Structure 1
Amino acid sequence: MLAFALRRLLVSVPILILSTFVVFVMVSLSANPLSNLITRNPPPPPQTIAAETHRLHLDQPLMERYWNWITGIFRGDFGPSVNSTMDIGSEVISRFGVTFRLIFLAMVIALILAIVVGAVSAVKQYSKLDYTATFFGFLFLSMPAFWLAVLLKQAGININNTVGDQVFYTIGASSIYVQGGFWAHLGDVLGHMILPTISLALISYASWSRFQRGSMLEVLNSDYVRLARAKGLSRGVVMRRHALRNALIPLTTVTALDLASIISGAVVTEKVFQWQGAGTFLLDAIAQSDVYAVEAWLLISATFVILFNLVADLLYGVLDPRIRHA
């Protein structure tokens, strides 16, 4: 297993290096960090523009800028921001800390729901339960992420107005002032995560449950499952050890590939619920043409996507020993 993990890790390193180059070149050529400064009225003096050009390293060739950027990352320097008072490294890491707690919880909930609903729907194919799960799956699958987030936020506001109390938090990732100790702050953070997590989880659950159902149906109709039943194994043992375990392999692939879309969905969800997370950081950086901030955001996202796919490769070996011994 260790050799299998090392091989996958060695394959991931050049992919990550190539992704940093693609990210830097595409973002650097897509925007001018001096655009907001140049378009001011009255325009700034040429000395100010020249000083800002030098501070942002725009007077260097593209490849030299890339080398300085990639080597600076190892020292914790993600490059200069158009906002001279902001440290991109500390800011983007703290913002991603807020965002990834939302993504992690949403993915866990979506995976549990998808596995349970998909497996039960496959076992009880064409039953009322299967038709009901199919209906809600396609319903959530057809909803854009922003629209579902808006509906949940409005529903939370209406419930709060009806009850006359704060039942659901609809703005921000936490309250400004929270009285009490650790548990009071934890409860406040979890309370703010309810609606955004549900919004993000339902979108992912919808597609994953349909995929799990199809994968489970294919496994249930396979020869080795029929052989296990013919040997006299109980239905529960056949489902857990043979059917479900093998049906999880395709779902693992889909989950790893969907991480990028989940991160993009979190950007929209954070905007709707007014979270100061990585999504807001990205949108503000794009609006200000802050190319180094955008590059830092994309680099961290690409790193997590590659790492998550590496974890998925390792899970293949856990779910199917034939893969790690191949």
Structure 2
Amino acid sequence: MATTTTSGSAAAETDARSASDVAPAPVRRQRRGAPMATFLGRRFLSSLIVLVGATFIVYMLLAYAIDPLEDLRTSTAPNKAQLIEARINALNLDTPPALRWLEWLRGAAGCLVGNCDLGTSWVTGNQVTSMLQGAVYSTVQLVATATFLAIGLGVVVGIVSALRQYTGFDYSVTFGSFVLYSLPSFWVAVLLKQWGAIGFNDFLADPVVKTGTTVLLAVIAGIVWSAIIGGPLRRRLTTFGVAALATAAVLVFVSETGWLLDPSLGPVVIGALGVGIAYAVVALGAGLKNRRALYSALTTVALGVALYYPLQYAFVNASWPLIIGLAVVAVGAGLLIGYLFGGPDRVVSARAAAITAVGVGFLIFVDRVMAVWYTYSNSTRINGRPIATIGSQTPGLQGDFWVEVLDKFTHLLLPTIALILISFAAYTRYSRASLLEVMNHDYIRTARAKGLPERVVTVRHGFRNSLIPLATVVPLDLAALFGGAIITERIFAWSGMGTMFLKGLQTADADVVMGYFIVTATLLVVANIVVDFVYAALDPRIRVNA
């Protein structure tokens, strides 16, 4: 009896032990806040150490590489010695550079508590912080638009090139990307000034497109669109014919009516373009079979066209706060329309309608800017040559909000194109290579085997994962844009961060150079931290708080 009991208890122990081996252990709820705070604290501390070390290196290099007394050493003034002594005392040059760096670092550390002191320019007598505010604003105006457009266009063209691999379009994009990437920026800028400004301004004197030019551009447009759409030969020929005829019709209309002298879109063109935007947004994001999303987007277009004339009265006393407020209202209206259409997936309908609302609102804004083109180009300050080659604004130009917007656009056009052409090539190559790698993975083949549409496979499965390599490049480029485009700013006489940096070096103004460096270095350090979070957002396998 005892033996039986013992063996039974032993068997029970064995079963319990086996059950404990097989059964999962109780899941402990982990607090995400503490690991995340630890991660941020660790990254912040390491980044701060790197930033302080970098400022020390740069400050020491400046101390031994530039000479604030250079102009006085070669001076022939009778009080040369007194001038040198006065500048030495003013700039504290008799103090070792390391101690001067500590004094500068003490003022820079005040930025952490809102009492920023980056020194004073001994050349102009202005505070470096005030100089940075104007330079950063000017640089963001110049580079931000170019950077975002280059990213958007580069990613789109790279994805289309990957989906049309080993076709004529793919080879053309690859060749063009390598050509643009190898072009020196100063050469591109000079060509744009010659042909994009001087040549176009001359063309506006008699804006007639010749027949040969019309035919050539129509053929090029047909070839490009047929390569992008792809498909069987019959589909390619149809696309070629439609694109060529549409391009030729637009060019003939522009030439015969003199549209370039007094351009406008009007509600009809805005409605047609809005319908195209609605179909494109729904086709990519939801699929044209999702009728609720399509009707939501088309309803948003109809609402935008209906509000075209009432908005003209609101634009009389326009300002940027008003424009931003109207943009927010447009997005809200799109979200509301998509939500009211209901259905099992209201989020998709609301998103499609909101994006369409942004597109239609942008078209209405562009149309209103076009309305002042004739007045602007025929003003005495412009004199029929609206595309500017230098500067950020026309001196002495008088006008309302829309004239100022148009003037800013004409000055931004050429430098923006110059920056886009260089950056666009790199983003195209990145996105193409990344999507080609993703589309060969097993989960893509599994998604296709399950019968998912190719749109869903490409947009929802392939596209998101192809953005992971770009997550390394894009945040760093966005941070680097505050450093300015030194060569482009110099050629187009744009006073931004790059110009500030060059002037600081030329005048041996160490505080100005250090102010430039601390802004760009800080943003690059922050961008590296942002990259980790972008990785985690795009790839759920990555945890930043591990």
Q: Same fold (TM over 0.5)?
A: yes
Residue 40 of structure 2 corresponds to which residue in structure 1? 6
Q: Cα–Cα, structure 1 residues 299 and 258, in superposed 2: closer, same or farther, change >3 Å?
A: same
Counterpart among 276, 280, 284 of residue 499 in structure 2: 280
User: Is the deviation greater in 58-67 or in 44-53?
Assistant: 44-53
Rate the CA distance shift 1:13–1:231 in 2: closer, same or farther, 3 A: farther
Shift of 1:264: 6.7
Matches within 5 A, 1:172-191: 172-191=391-410
Question: Where does residue 68 of structure 1 map in the other structure?
Answer: 103
1:276-313 Cα shifts (integer Å, max 9, x gaps): 22222222221111122112112212122222333322
Indicate the SS of the match to 1:322.
coil
5+ residue gaps, structure 2: 1-31, 206-383
Of the three residues 81, 101, 111, the one matched with 2:141 is 101
Instruction: Judge conservation of contact 1:36–1:288 (CA < 8 Å) in 2.
Output: no
| Superposed counterparts of 1:1-326, under 5 Å | 3=36, 6=40, 8-42=43-77, 44-73=79-108, 74=110, 75-155=115-195, 156-164=197-205, 165-258=384-477, 266-324=485-543, 326=546
* Contact 1:249–1:319 (Cα < 8 Å) also in 2: yes
**How far, CA to CA, are the matches of 1:272 and 1:168 in structure 2?**
15
What is the alpha-carbon distance in structure 2 between the residues aligned to residue 147 and residue 264 of structure 1? 21
Q: CA separation in 1, counterparts of 2:466 and 2:124?
A: 52
Which deviates further from its counterpart, 41-50 or 63-72? 41-50
Give the conservation status (yes or no) of the 8 Å contact 1:118–1:211: yes
Deviations 1:94-140 (A, max 9, x none): 11210122221111001101110111111110112212211221121
Amino acid at match of 2:72: L
In 2, the alpha carbon distance for the partners of 1:291 and 1:237 equals 55
Shift of 1:317: 1.5
- 1:10 deviates by 4.4
Question: In 1, Cα distance between the equivalents of 2:421 and 2:176?
Answer: 10
Tell me if structure 1 keeps the 8 A contact 2:483–2:497.
no
Describe the superposition over 1:32-63 as per-residue Cα deviations: whole angstroms up to 9, x where unpaired.
11112222223643222122112112121222
Aligned to 2:28: none
Given that 2:136 and 2:482 are in contact with CA atoms closer than 8 Å, whether structure 1 keeps it comes out as no
Unaligned runs of 5+ in 1: none
Letter in 1 for 2:59: F
Q: How many residues align?
A: 326
Q: Which moved more, 1:70-79 or 1:151-160?
A: 70-79
1:227-253 CA distances to partner (integer Å, 9 max, x unpaired)?
Answer: 121122221111122111111111121
What SS does the corresponding residue of 2:485 show, helix, strand or coil?
A: helix
Report the TM-score, using the length of structure 2 for normalisation.
Answer: 0.56
3-state SS of paired residue (1:60): coil
One-letter amino acid of the structure 1 residue matched with residue 157 of structure 2? V
Deviations for 1:147-190, whole angstroms, at most 9, x for unmatched residues?
A: 11111111111211332422422110112233233333222222
Provide the C-alpha distance between the structure 2 equivalents of 1:10 and 1:318, rounded to a whole number of angstroms. Answer: 23
What secondary structure sits across from 2:396 in the alignment?
coil
SS of the residue corresponding to residue 82 of structure 1 reads coil
Aligned-residue sequence identity (percent) comes to 40
Is the Cα–Cα contact under 8 Å of residues 200 and 265 in structure 1 kept in the other structure? no
**Is the 2:483–2:520 contact (alpha carbons within 8 Å) kept by the matching residues of 1?**
no
Take 2:175 and 2:512, find their aligned partners in 1: how far apart are those partners?
42
Shift of 1:9: 4.0
Secondary structure (helix, strand or coil) at the match of 1:324 reads coil
User: What TM-score do you get using the length of structure 1 for normalisation?
Assistant: 0.92
Q: For 1:180, what is the secondary structure of its paired residue?
A: coil
How far off is 1:85 after superposition? 2.7
SS at the partner of 1:323? coil
CA drift of 1:314 comes to 1.9
Structure number with greater CO (CA < 8 Å, separation at least 6) is: 1
